[in-house]
Chains A and B, each alone.
Chain A
């Protein structure tokens, strides 16, 4: 069995390092999966879910935008932020979502709206991960 050595790095810290069988992430052109011996690739990443397929289980990360780089043996994911599945809290997502929607309803300045949009987008990503986790547990 071949493995990819994956590192997920954010400006704050190294979030993950380990060997996995497959990496799935979101690029501007759509979702891509990387398997061992993938051709050398450098791509932009969008806000989205990063899925790492380990031997026993899948790991989900809620990821910010950034880059992914691979040479077929190693994968480096450089992103602005990343939260593992354990760090996602259902209650908090609800709160964030409500706050963002409130902001959007009030039609404030452009900058705040953009902020609210990113908040909403992140909340959606987080809830998608939760949903996936629930399906798995059943």
Chain B
């Protein structure tokens, strides 16, 4: 490589580095926001969950349509949360690998609802049946949480699905996120799993006003929706953190490249100067002789 080409290359790598640095900073800000949102709602969701677990046994939940299993149905509905944009490292890839480990995507027993074009593309490519796509919600996916909730609830109540679950990257810390699959419906699976010995002792007869039916119906709806919303928020926070890390790596790489190329450039430049000096010296010697 000659000197001019090398200089050009250094320049372009520097430019790329600047862009990735900017993207990193933007993602960091977005992540802070998304993180605050996701964590702020956590006490609320936890409290709802606890409440449900507590009353699940003190009253007969069995009569509600979405507590019971649809024994006749064989299909499973999976809601997948991914991102619309790339450049976020292994964020989406991790999710898809998780697919490969846990289920047969192309199996006719699975139907998918996708959020984010990456998941949509992946699933369609893999030959899965995607029944709905919520990738175009503006400005964030959170806007479509209610719509997803309606769709899942209605279809489940119609007896179309055996279970409804949600697959997303759970936000653990600013640097860690993990793909998980959580079951949303039927409720029987959740309520029973959460019952610990402590709960049994705490179990009390609750007075439910105005009527158990009204309260529980509202409560369960509330719970389901906030769970979906929480998942969407966490997924978004994870996406931004993933992008931030990916962009940080890219910036560091660019810096390394610029460093080594600058050394190379200096070497080449020095070589040229030395050659010129040698030429001049030989020329002088020839002339003086």
**Chain A residues within CB distance 8 Å of chain B:** 7, 9-14, 27-29, 39-44, 66-67, 69, 71, 76, 78
Contact = CB atoms under 8 A, between A and B. Distances in A.
A28 B210 contact: yes
A43 B209 contact: yes
18 contacts: A7-B47, A11-B229, A27-B209, A27-B210, A28-B209, A40-B207, A41-B207, A41-B209, A42-B206, A42-B207, A44-B209, A44-B210, A66-B222, A67-B219, A69-B54, A71-B202, A78-B47, A78-B48
Interface residues of B, number: 25
B57 to A, nearest CB: 13
Interface of B: 37, 40-41, 43-44, 47-48, 51, 54-55, 202, 204-210, 214-215, 218-219, 222, 226, 229
A28 B209 CA distance: 9
A71 B204 contact: yes
Given A41-B208, A67-B215, 9 more contacts: A10-B44, A11-B226, A11-B229, A14-B44, A40-B205, A42-B51, A44-B215, A78-B44, A78-B51
A87 B209 CA distance: 30
Nearest to B218: A44
Contacts of B43: 7, 9, 13-14
A39 B43 CA distance: 24
A41 B55 CA distance: 10
Given A39-B207, A41-B209, A12 B51 contact: no
A104 B219 CA distance: 31
B247 to A, nearest CB: 28
Contact of B206 (A7, A27, A41, A44): A41
Nearest to A9: B44
A80 to B, nearest CB: 9
Interface centre among B44, B55, B207, B226 (most CB of A within 10 A): B44
Contacts of B214: 44
Interface centre among A7, A44, A71 (most CB of B within 10 A): A44
A51 to B, nearest CB: 19
